[in-house]
Amino acid sequence: MASNGATLKIGKFSEDYLLSRAAEIVGEKTKNSTVFDAEAEAALPKFKRSELTLGRVLGRGGFCTVSEIGKVTIPEVSGGAATAGANRPTAAEDNDDDDEEGCDGGVGIQGQILQDRNFIATKYLRKGKDARYAIKTLSDDVMRDPERFVAGIIDLAIEARFLAVIKHPNIIKMRATAESEPYKHGFFVVLDRLYDTLTMRFSTWKRNKKKMTGIGKIRDMKGQKKKDLFIERILVSYDLAAAVKHLHNMNILYRDLKPDNIGFDVRGDVKIFDFGLAKEVRPDDKMESGLYKLSGNTGSLRVCFHICCTLTLIRRILAKKIQRSQYSSVLFSMI
């Protein structure tokens, strides 16, 4: 249902019916989970869409659009935990290296949520006026196709549930969600804003490497620039491996590891993002053969091609281990 109370139609179906259908599917996919945590989801700050002013579009995926958050406006709240963060730096005074909400202690869960809301509202811009946060919402074109609408709602809802519990320095952090549930009109998530992808970084590395030939090689007689470039790529590879290992330790398969789903924050730290295809591997997914029953048709065509080539060299990798091949494909492109 739209914000004005009118019933929306998507194709020949009502939006409410499609949202309820998406809720049923997500419920079936996530039942008996040992990963998801309703308390962690409830402890996230919540915003109304009207409190967020969007900036430029950063990217579009199969179902969603990611945009900068240009401004955050929340109502004045007097006294108590809600104003506990009032003495923190404003957006204009922001410390670019401080992305954490922090905790003033002794305020309880609801008090911490209010503090975190205030933190986001006062630190939405960096010193250079760049947006600190981004919002991920369903794309407008998805709202015209019932099948894509349901798939998009499922994708965004599952991503929100995963990101509520995954904490790792090389995995994108979800800062807040919509005030409404994922199966209500206009759901969104608030994420850290990333500045480029590994695909873009490949181009940068290629240009820098080209500068090290010819005259550039003469200017770098000791090869320090070449060494620094190699070390940078190795460190990114190491951080990605650490993130994937962390997911596997949580029994989570990412299933869509590719350069376009790997980004970099303002400090240059690598981050895996877009968890719509992620899956929790549970004991009941394991078959008698020792393999795990997983759905097909995940990942991108280019990455899947590399995976197939890699699998021909390996003797019967367990389904739970297939992400190693995805990582190997990305790693091969980087080094």
Contact of 59 with 260, CB cutoff 8 Å = no
The pLDDT, as a whole number, for residue 334 is 58
How many Cα neighbours within 13 Å face the side chain of 98? 14
* CATH domain 196-334 topology: Transferase(Phosphotransferase); domain 1 (1.10.510)
Band (pLDDT 50/70/90 cuts) for residue 7 is confident
The pLDDT, as a whole number, for residue 335 is 56
Domain boundaries, the chain: 9-192, 196-334
pLDDT digits (tens, 9 = 90+) for 130-147: 999 999 999 999 999 999
Residue range 119-124: mean pLDDT, rounded: 94
Six token digits for residue 213? 């030939």
How many whole angstroms from its chain centre is CA 226? Answer: 32
CATH of domain 9-192: 3.30.200.20
Six token digits for residue 101? 């909400």
Q: Is the pLDDT at 175 greater than 80, yes or no?
A: yes
Q: Is the pLDDT at 90 greater than 60, yes or no?
A: no
- 46: which strand partners? 177
For residues 278 and 247, what is the distance between their CA atoms, to the nearest angstrom?
10
Which run of H or E residues covers position 202?
A: helix 198-210
The pLDDT, as a whole number, for residue 292 is 72
pLDDT digits (tens, 9 = 90+) for 213-267: 767 666 666 777 888 999 999 999 999 999 999 999 999 999 999 999 999 999 9
The pLDDT, as a whole number, for residue 303 is 42
Terminal Cα-to-Cα distance of the chain (whole angstroms): 50
Note if the pTM is more than 0.95: no
For residues 193 and 120, what is the distance between their CA atoms, to the nearest angstrom?
13
Mean pLDDT for the chain overall: 82
The pLDDT, as a whole number, for residue 84 is 42
Residue range 115-119: mean pLDDT, rounded: 94
Beta-strand relationship, 196-197 and 262-264:
antiparallel
pLDDT digits (tens, 9 = 90+) for 182-211: 999 999 999 999 999 999 999 999 998 888
The pLDDT, as a whole number, for residue 42 is 94
Residue 9 phi/psi, 5° resolution?
Answer: -115, 135
